[in-house]
Structure 1
Amino acid sequence: MIEIKDLHKSFNEEIILNGIDAEFIAGKTNMIIGSSGSGKSVFLKNMLGLFKPDAGEIIYDGERLNEMDEDRQKELREQMGMLFQHSALFDSMTVEENVMFPLRMFTKMRRKERQERANDILERVNLINLNKKKPSEISGGQQKRVALARAVVNRPKFLFCDEPNSGLDPKTATIIDNLIQELTHESNMTTVIISHDMNSVLEIGETIIFLKDGKIAWKGNNKQIFKTDNESVTDFVYSSELFRKVRIAQNKGL
């Protein structure tokens, strides 16, 4: 579980985060949504320790990030998995080598053990017989699954996903969504997903916070988001073609 208490962050006197309070629950897909410039990426970077908040607390399973010494912060980073927006695979490495990379960096496993773990997780994300291929030799959807395998191969307690469906077709995006949710439930990870994809919100938004102007303007889940009368949320949600169709169907009583 990750707790956020009264988080503030500014750059050059421009307020980006303005008193955020939130909880991200273990075993659930926790989503952060909002328009561009709402503070989503800065929020994520504060949680990852890449930015230092001006005020407020970030608490991992009861431990305050700002009170951790360097060694404890290193241990915490080793418990994190990160799925990047553009996969960020190493072009010079094979699929197998990419997935083994965190194991080589953060564990003392022998190569055979690393290969076995990598093969297990590649099978789990429905990728077989691609071990020796380079990222350039596989599709974008397959690259994203390799990146997801790499993010969870070290069995992290905390998984962060930055726009995991960026650039994917709807069918492939749904596959990635479902894999993230299944792995989250199976491993009881605390998963935090930044997304603008309303299909993802509909599919796996078990908890959702909506950011606007650096504040949380709404909290709920993928069932409640249809029912809110918060104008900022409805304007954002129903700007999606899918959700416009849902609203029309609701108005017709279908």
Structure 2
Amino acid sequence: MIEVTNLEKSFGDAHILKGISTTFEKGKTNLVIGQSGSGKTVFLKCLLGLFDYEKGKIAYEGQVFAELSEAEKRNMRAKIGMVFQGSALFDSMTIEENVMFPLQMFTKQSKSEMQDRANFVLNRVKLKDANKKMPSEASGGMQKRVAIARAIVNNPKYLFCDEPNSGLDPKTAIVIDNLIKEITEEYNITTVINTHDMNSVMEIGDKIVFLKDGLKAWEGSKDTIFRTDNEVVTDFVYSSNLFKKVRRMYIEDNS
């Protein structure tokens, strides 16, 4: 579990995060949504320890990250997997080498042990026999699955995903959503996903935190988001006629 308490972050005179408090549970897909400029990316980078913050605290299983020593922070980072927007694979490395990279950073495994682990996670994301390919030889969906394999290769306790469906067609996006959810539940990971994709919200949103102008404007689940009367949320979620129709059908079916 990750607990966030009264988190505040500024850049000069710009107050970006304004006292956000929430929790992210194990085995759940926790989604952070909001318009551009809402603070999602800054929030994620604070959770990852990439940004310092002025007030509040972030605790991983009760350990306050800002209070850890440098050695303890390194140990904590070894428990974190990250799927970057655009996958962020190393173009000069094979798929296998990309997946092995976290093992080289954080473990003392032999090359054969790292290769065995890379094979295991590549099989898990249905990329058997892709080891020697270069990223340029892989489709966007394949690259995203490589990024997920790399993120889980070190058996992380925490998985962060920044816009994992960015640039993917709708069918492939659903495959990636379902893969992330399966892995989250299978390995009991605390997963936090930054997204603006409402299909992801409705497919895998066990918990949803909605940010607006650096504030937590609402939180709930993919079920309760249909029933909320919070105008800030409904304006964002039901900006398309499709989701307006889905909401109306949902309310009728559950009334």
User: In 1, distance between residues paired with 2:241 and 2:131?
Assistant: 38
Pairwise CA distance, 1:241? 5.5
Pairwise CA distance, 1:129? 1.7
Verify the 8 A CA contact 1:198 1:240 in the aligned structure 2.
no
Query: 2:134 matched to which residue of 1?
Result: 134
Query: 1:8 matched to which residue of 2?
Result: 8
Query: 1:182 matched to which residue of 2?
Result: 182
SS in 2 for 1:115: helix
Query: 1:198 matched to which residue of 2?
Result: 198
Over 3 Å counting, the alpha-carbon distance change for 1:76 and 1:241 in structure 2 is: farther
Pairwise CA distance, 1:245? 3.6
Report Cα offsets for 1:123-178 as digits up to 9, x if no partner: 11011121111000010000000000000010101100000000001111111111
TM-score normalised by the chain length of structure 2: 0.96
Pairwise CA distance, 1:11? 1.0
Q: Aligned letter for 1:214?
A: G
Query: 2:70 matched to which residue of 1?
Result: 70
1:59-138 equivalent positions in 2, closer than 5 A = 59-138=59-138
Query: 2:225 matched to which residue of 1?
Result: 225
Query: 1:246 matched to which residue of 2?
Result: 246
Q: Aligned letter for 1:186?
A: E
Q: Aligned letter for 1:95?
A: I
User: In 1, distance between residues paired with 2:104 and 2:41?
Assistant: 28
Pairwise CA distance, 1:249? 3.9
Over 3 Å counting, the alpha-carbon distance change for 1:132 and 1:241 in structure 2 is: farther
Q: Aligned letter for 1:156?
A: P
Q: Which runs of 5+ in 2 are unaligned?
A: none
SS in 2 for 1:5: strand
SS in 1 for 2:46: helix
Pairwise CA distance, 1:21? 0.4
Report Cα offsets for 1:69-106 as digits up to 9, x if no partner: 11101111111000001100001111111111111111
Verify the 8 A CA contact 2:27 2:187 in the aligned structure 1.
yes
Over 3 Å counting, the alpha-carbon distance change for 1:71 and 1:253 in structure 2 is: closer
Query: 2:216 matched to which residue of 1?
Result: 216
Pairwise CA distance, 1:247? 3.4
Query: Percent identity, aligned pairs only?
Result: 62
Q: Aligned letter for 1:119?
A: N
SS in 1 for 2:3: strand
TM-score normalised by the chain length of structure 1: 0.97
Q: Are positions 1:237 and 2:237 aligned together?
A: yes
Pairwise CA distance, 1:244? 3.2
User: In 1, distance between residues paired with 2:247 and 2:13?
Assistant: 40
Q: Are positions 1:38 and 2:42 aligned together?
A: no
Verify the 8 A CA contact 1:199 1:242 in the aligned structure 2.
no
Verify the 8 A CA contact 1:84 1:162 in the aligned structure 2.
yes
User: In 2, distance between residues paired with 1:176 and 1:253?
Assistant: 29
Verify the 8 A CA contact 2:32 2:210 in the aligned structure 1.
yes
Verify the 8 A CA contact 2:17 2:215 in the aligned structure 1.
yes
User: In 2, distance between residues paired with 1:230 and 1:6?
Assistant: 22
Q: Aligned letter for 1:84?
A: F
Verify the 8 A CA contact 2:226 2:250 in the aligned structure 1.
no
User: In 1, distance between residues paired with 2:145 and 2:16?
Assistant: 32
Q: Which runs of 5+ in 1 are unaligned?
A: none
User: In 1, distance between residues paired with 2:62 and 2:250?
Assistant: 42
Verify the 8 A CA contact 1:94 1:135 in the aligned structure 2.
yes
